[in-house]
Every structure is written in C-alpha cells, then in structure tokens.
Structure 1
Amino acid sequence: MSADAAARADLGPELRAIVERGSSTAALGEARENGRRVWRDAAGVTDLDSRRPARADGRFRIGSVTKTFVSTVVLQLVDEGKLRLDEPVERYLPGVVPNGGAITLRQLLNHTSGLYDYLQDPRFLYQDEASLRAFLAQGRWTTWSPAELIDAGVKGTPYFPPGQGWHYSNTNYILIGEVIRKVTGRNWQSEVDRRIVRPLHLDETTFPGARPGIPGPHAHGYVQLPEGPADVTLINPSFGDAAGNGISTTADLNRFHAALFGGRLLSAARLAEMTTAVPAPMIGAHYGLGLIRYDLPCGEVWGHTGGIPGYNTVWLGSKDGARQFSLSFNLSEGAETEDTFTTLNAFIEKASCGPGTAAAKEAATNSPFRLLR
C-alpha cells in the first residue's frame, strides 16, 4: 500500500461521524487504490425498528450516478459509429423536443441544452410537507413512462437557448435513454447491463425500472416528518429512469470507476471527450459528459453524486483510474443540521486528500459538494 493510500485508509471515524452527527441513519463506504480495496466499513443501522448494524456490502439507490452508466453507453455507440455527439436530438427523436434541431446530444449529456428539469414539476416528488405526505401515501407508487417525463420537461420554460448556459436537468438524460432505445432497438437498461454490468461482473448493480424493492441486504431510507422519520425504502423509481434509476454497492461502483478511467470501456478519444468539462456554477464544479470534476486544493477528482428519497451517494476518484472511493449515506431528509455537511466534507476531503494536510483542511472548510437529484 502506498503512503497516500495508508493515509486515506482509515475513514472509519469520518464515516461514523456522518451517522452520529450528520443526521444519517446509516453510512457505507469503500476506498480502493491500484485495484486493491484499502478500506471498507459501515456505520449506523439497517432500520430504526430492529437497530441491526448496517452492512458494508449493502445495496443502495445511486440516484444520478446512473447518468454516468448511461453516458458511457452513448459514448460506446459513438465509438461504434452509431451516434454523433454534435448531431441534433431531432435526428434521433423527431418531433419530441421543441427546437430539437438546435439541441445536440453533447448538450444533453453536459446539461447545456437549457431544457427544463421535469423534477421541478409539482407532480413529481415533493416540495413541502403537504406534498411529501401525498407522495408517501400515493405518489411513491406511481409508474411514470419516459414519454411522460419528457413531456413534463419539454413543456416547462427553457432556462436559456441551447448552448448559452449550464443548468442541471434530468430531462436531458431521459431523452438520452430514448436515443439509446431508438439506435439499438433495446432499452437503456438492457444496454447498460449488456455493455457494462455483465462484462465487469457488477453482480449487485441493477436498474429496477418500476420495481419498488431493493434486492439483497440494504439499509432503509427515511424522510423527516414533524412526528418523526417516515420509511421511504420502498418506492417506484420509474420517475428516475435513465437519470436516476440505479441500485448498486460501493464495491461495484468503485470497479466501474476503475474500469472507466482505466480505459477498459471507451477509446482514449471518447474518454477525452467525456472528461472535457464546462463550468457548472450552480454546483461549484465542472461537468463533462455524465461526469463531474471537482477541483480540490489537493487536485481534481472525477465522478458523480446522486440523491433519491432516502439515499445519497458520492462516487469519486482520480482521473488516472488509480484511486476511487464510494460513499452511501441514508440522510433523513428534512433533519439536516449544520453538522450534516461538515461531516460529509470531512469524509470527502480525507478520502481525496489524505488527513492532516493544509489542502485537506481547506477542502473540509470550503467543500464545493452539492448532492444532485
């Protein structure tokens, strides 16, 4: 183990702090260096009733980390000559997107299309206590089709003309999922499974469509109501589709990161395009094609973050594929405190920079991280 790996290896105190002071019921983490696991641990409980300890090998919803799987498939199709990034979405999905002739696949992938984020539509998820209660009672069981999600997105007022700004929009990736279907004749889940999950033996990674359960061991997710936490583990995740439908483990995510940045999934030219990032001021970072670049005082890290009711994910590593770490934490949404993000930042800075350095302390104090849904 390198000195840097040894310095980062014991993330246990930071992981436990996410639970003890950070308003999470469980936290799972793993770090790898040069293909070897250097640390894995879990803190907290599987559920608030049984209080059984959380398992480090547990599965969890990965939210927007799904986007990187989907983007990788698109870039593989570009490598195969079946797609072109600078072709308009109108070519592949005629009549679906207003002004679709001016919006390219690249702009969908890097969130410069200007399209409205369908998750901001009040029919999806929740914005206040009343809509949260309605979501828990009925909304969480609703099955949404990609066409319905796209319709909500394209009917919203665009944020800006195509290519004239940056705004995170889940609508972009629902469209990308439908482009994959149009070009391959199979849905995006099948293509991700065929091209990434099976070749890399990511045996605990699934894309459940409308199925509400999480297979295998997992910690429960919660949202906060005035009377206490409400269990939101069971949920129909079809509202996430190609923008956020996935389930995985820390081990599988780290293997995916190592394979992607190690050049096993894309040509060097496509990986270079994937990591060509534009400023993303609303998240304090830069965004490539399904990848986020965070510039820390100790250097840059690449990956994605994700959030879906009950579950949050941080998945990052070095651009050379030598180091990666994954973190899942079950933040009880609505119970956040000032310590919530202090503890999260402490974990991320130590995993990225190592402990005790000036760069690490600056990263902890001025972390740019914003979790994306």
Structure 2
Amino acid sequence: MSTSRRRLTQGLAAGAACLALPAGLSAPAAAAPSARSSRTPDSAALQAALEALVQWPVAGAVCAAASPAGLVELAAGRRSTASPAPARPQSVARVASVTKAMTATVAFQEIERGTLRLDSTIGEVLPGLWPGRESVTLGQLLNHTSGMPDAVWVLMDHVSLWDLPLEHVRDVVARSYPPRELVELAKQDGWWFEPGTDWGYSNTGYVVAQLMVEAAAGRPLSSLIRDRVFRPAGMHRTRLEEGALVRGAEMEDAAVRPGQTMRLQTIDQSVFAGAAAVNATAGDVVRFYQALMRGRLVGQASVDAMVTPVGAARAAAYGYGIFQVPDPVRAGEVLYGHDGGGFGSASLAVSSRDGSRAMAFTFVGRPYWAAGANEVWPRQTAVLRAAMSLSGTAGRPGGSAGRAAAGAAHAAVGGTRLG
C-alpha cells in the first residue's frame, strides 16, 4: 500500500467524527474566495476549507462536490505560481492517476463485450511484449498485483521525490514516450514479485493494460475513452492528453521546495499514458464517478467488481482502478475513488457507491519536501471532509448533462508517489 494512500485511510479512519476546520479557520464568511460560480450556506464551509488549503507552497486549487441537492464547483488561489490570474471553478487541471478508474472502465467495457477477460494474459493479447511474463493477466495489471516494475521509477533514477533534483523532473517531462518505450524502460528493473502474491503500484501496469484494450478494440485509448466515457458522462472539458498541449487557462503544475519553485509550464503527459494522463475540470471528474456508480458506463455487476478488492489487493483496499477509504462523515461507511500525484500537482476523487455524494479536487504547487507535505496534508483532508459534508441546497442543477451553477476542481493526497 502506498504511503500516500495509507495516510489517507488512516487519517480518515482516525478523524471520521471530527469535521472541524483547521485551527485558525473560522466561519465561512471570513474567507475571501478567489473565484466561484456559486456560493450557498452549504458550500461556504467547503469554500473556506479550500481557501485554507491555498497557502504556500500551494498556489491554487479547484474543487467540485455533489450531494443529493446538486453540484457545487469552487476555486481558490491562482492558476500558476508565477501569475496573479485566479483559478476558476471550471479551470482544467491534470488529474494524474484519477485517470486509472477511467481506463479501467474502458477495460471492463471490453470485458462486457467479450473481447477481453480479467484472466486474459499478456501472452494471449500481446505476444512477445514481455518474454517470460506472458502469464500476467489483465486483472493483475488493473489491481496492481502483477509485480510489473514502473517506468516512472526508472525515469526518476530510483530517487525519492524528496531528494529528486527539480531540474531532473523538468528534463523527464520535456519529451515524448510512446507506450512501448515505457514498457522497455520498465524492463530495466527487476520484476517486483511473483504475479498475484503481493501488491505494488505500477503505472506501467496500466500502460500494458491500455495496450491490451487497444489490441482488443482495434482503436486507440484516446478515442475509446472519449466516446465511451467522457461523452456519455457529460465530461465536456476532459481529454486524455498524449502530448504537452495546454489549452487556455489551465492550472499550471509547479514543484516547490523552500527557496526553489520550478514551473512545469508544459508536461508531456505521454510519460503516464493511460495510467495518469487525463486533464479535466473537477466537475467533470465528479460527473464521471456519478455516471460510473449509477451504471451508465458499465453494468452494475462490473461496477461491483471494480470496487471490490480481491486476493493480494485486499491489503491495499484496491479494486480495479478504484480504492476504498473510510467515509469521513458517515461512520462505518466506505467511499470509492482514486488519488493522483502529478509532477507539480495532486488530486483526489471519491464517491459513495450510489453516486449521490461525490467530490474531486486538485491543487497546484506540490511540495517536494517532507515537512511541506506534512503541513499541507491536514488542509487536504479538511477539504475532503467539508466536501462530503454537503447537504441541503447546493446550487441549481443545470442542463441535461446535470451541470450546476458552480465551479471546478479536485485535491491531493500527500506522499512521494508519482502517478
């Protein structure tokens, strides 16, 4: 289980009954929101928590939350560490490994179509891709029990985020990586463990799952996920970015240490491919989880399978592209979602099983030192608690796509993981 996910689970379990905002943060009226598309009594506490999050090293954040009353989308701070331009509720951000649930959804669509199975092997679908590991299954790739090494770890020279030279980060994200090159990079490391015997988070496992899906469907993942996930879920400002394109006023990643800030103005997201390369508004991420949980993207039997940890993945509370965390406001209940660790941002998205309560947030200005991550951590969990505490009127529902009159975003889970 990754450090960041363990912190999330333990922190929520310990604080499920404690919904207070961080010390020093008073009533919502005291907050001066940078940007918002609606403000109601119910979203005021969430706006206040978001404003509290946006203190150095965090430059800006976007957040969306849904309750039975509707959807609110909010923002705080700036889009960039170098610009006074405010973050907007519908600003697009890199959501990193929140992508994994979307890629897993397309994989389960192929399973429902009969072109793949969870026990389909690399050797069956992609003969010759990884000699000696032909028996690794799609299911093991999707729930991180394959033992497949991670190309991102190779590219980072096996150095912890805390010790990584920021110039090296800049160089890594400056070039393009075809999916099969990522596989070849991962091969430079030894296999982590025998398939099915343990749990180890591998972005390259999702790259290989992407290749299996593309082989089965005869189409690239970028078009599959657009047509089968983004469009039916009403995610109109979301894309799987295969290069370094920035469109308009997007949130800008930044890696931050005391005395050093590195703007990552363009990141070639092919380094993550189908593992973590989606750019989206927070509202769109919430729409995804609501559509998924309500059976609009795959059948409910597939959703049940996706949210259920099996085998060695039980220890990590990880299903297929989705992990489980304790509900911070309803004791004994569970939320389903995923976190994301970008090179200069962090994200989190979770949902109740019925999709009636969901949230997503992202912040830019990721701390690259332990004390900074520890300082930001309680602010992130405060945003999560405030988002999942929404009740009553939460803004007007709008449009056939189920939009509301508010903003955008999604937050972050502290730790050293990338992807």
TM-score under structure 1 normalisation?
Answer: 0.87
Pick the aligned partner of 1:351 from 384, 387, 390: 387
Pick the aligned partner of 1:220 from 228, 246, 252: 252
Using a 3 Å threshold, how does the CA distance of structure 1 residues 13 and 58 change in structure 2: closer, same or farther?
same
**8 A contact 1:88–1:104 mirrored in 2:** yes
In the TM superposition, what is the alpha-carbon distance from 1:73 to its structure 2 partner? 0.5
Mapped pair 1:107 → 2:140: yes
> Quick one: which amino acid aligns to residue 338 of structure 1?
N
Give the secondary-structure state (helix, strand or coil) at the position aligned to 2:279. strand
Q: C-alpha distance in 1, partners of 2:189/2:383?
A: 37
Using a 3 Å threshold, how does the CA distance of structure 1 residues 201 and 43 change in structure 2: closer, same or farther?
same
1:113-144 deviation line (CA, Å, top 9, x unaligned): 011122110457975767421342x3322111
In the TM superposition, what is the alpha-carbon distance from 1:280 to its structure 2 partner? 7.7
Pick the aligned partner of 1:12 from 47, 64, 73: 47
Who is 1:271 aligned against?
Answer: 303
Who is 1:342 aligned against?
Answer: 378
**8 A contact 1:125–1:135 mirrored in 2:** no
Who is 1:61 aligned against?
Answer: 94
**8 A contact 1:27–1:329 mirrored in 2:** yes
Give the secondary-structure state (helix, strand or coil) at the position aligned to 2:187. helix
Give the secondary-structure state (helix, strand or coil) at the position aligned to 1:65. helix
In the TM superposition, what is the alpha-carbon distance from 1:350 to its structure 2 partner? 2.9
Q: C-alpha distance in 2, partners of 1:277/1:331?
A: 32
Q: C-alpha distance in 2, partners of 1:172/1:130?
A: 23
User: What is the count of residue pairs matched by the alignment?
Assistant: 354
User: Which fold has the larger relative contact order, with Cα–Cα distance below 8 Å and residues 6 or more apart in sequence?
Assistant: 2
In the TM superposition, what is the alpha-carbon distance from 1:238 to its structure 2 partner? 0.9
Q: C-alpha distance in 2, partners of 1:121/1:69?
A: 25
Who is 1:323 aligned against?
Answer: 357
Who is 1:46 aligned against?
Answer: 79
Who is 2:219 aligned against?
Answer: 186
> Quick one: which amino acid aligns to residue 86 of structure 1?
D
Who is 2:406 aligned against?
Answer: none
Who is 1:253 aligned against?
Answer: 285
Q: C-alpha distance in 2, partners of 1:236/1:332?
A: 18
Q: C-alpha distance in 2, partners of 1:62/1:368?
A: 12
Q: How does 1:120-199 map to 2 (within 5 A)?
A: 120-122=153-155, 127=160, 131-136=165-170, 138-199=171-232
Using a 3 Å threshold, how does the CA distance of structure 1 residues 309 and 320 change in structure 2: closer, same or farther?
same
1:322-370 deviation line (CA, Å, top 9, x unaligned): 1101111113332625321011112223323579xxxxxxxxxxx9975
Q: Which sections of structure 1, spanning at least 5 residues, go unmatched? A: 356-366
Mapped pair 1:244 → 2:272: no
Who is 1:201 aligned against?
Answer: 234
> Quick one: which amino acid aligns to residue 293 of structure 1?
Q
**8 A contact 2:348–2:413 mirrored in 1:** no
> Quick one: which amino acid aligns to residue 273 of structure 1?
A
1:61-99 deviation line (CA, Å, top 9, x unaligned): 011111111110010111111111112221001121243
**8 A contact 2:348–2:361 mirrored in 1:** yes
TM-score under structure 2 normalisation?
Answer: 0.78
In the TM superposition, what is the alpha-carbon distance from 1:217 to its structure 2 partner? 2.1
Using a 3 Å threshold, how does the CA distance of structure 1 residues 98 and 55 change in structure 2: closer, same or farther?
same
Give the secondary-structure state (helix, strand or coil) at the position aligned to 1:304. strand
**8 A contact 1:125–1:132 mirrored in 2:** no
Aligned-residue sequence identity (percent) comes to 28
Using a 3 Å threshold, how does the CA distance of structure 1 residues 208 and 126 change in structure 2: closer, same or farther?
farther
1:227-284 deviation line (CA, Å, top 9, x unaligned): 43121131111101011111000111111110000111111221121111148889x8
Using a 3 Å threshold, how does the CA distance of structure 1 residues 130 and 288 change in structure 2: closer, same or farther?
closer
Q: C-alpha distance in 1, partners of 2:84/2:92?
A: 17
> Quick one: which amino acid aligns to residue 12 of structure 1?
Q
Q: C-alpha distance in 2, partners of 1:87/1:49?
A: 48
Q: Which moved more, 1:44-53 or 1:228-237?
A: 44-53
**8 A contact 1:62–1:312 mirrored in 2:** yes
Q: Which moved more, 1:120-129 or 1:222-231?
A: 120-129
Q: Which moved more, 1:72-81 or 1:308-317?
A: 308-317
> Quick one: which amino acid aligns to residue 268 of structure 1?
Q
Who is 1:361 aligned against?
Answer: none
Pick the aligned partner of 1:288 from 297, 303, 319: 319
Mapped pair 1:30 → 2:64: yes
**8 A contact 2:179–2:273 mirrored in 1:** yes
Q: Which sections of structure 2, spanning at least 5 residues, go unmatched? A: 1-39, 392-411
Who is 2:338 aligned against?
Answer: 304
**8 A contact 1:294–1:368 mirrored in 2:** no
Who is 1:233 aligned against?
Answer: 265
Using a 3 Å threshold, how does the CA distance of structure 1 residues 18 and 289 change in structure 2: closer, same or farther?
same
Using a 3 Å threshold, how does the CA distance of structure 1 residues 217 and 93 change in structure 2: closer, same or farther?
same
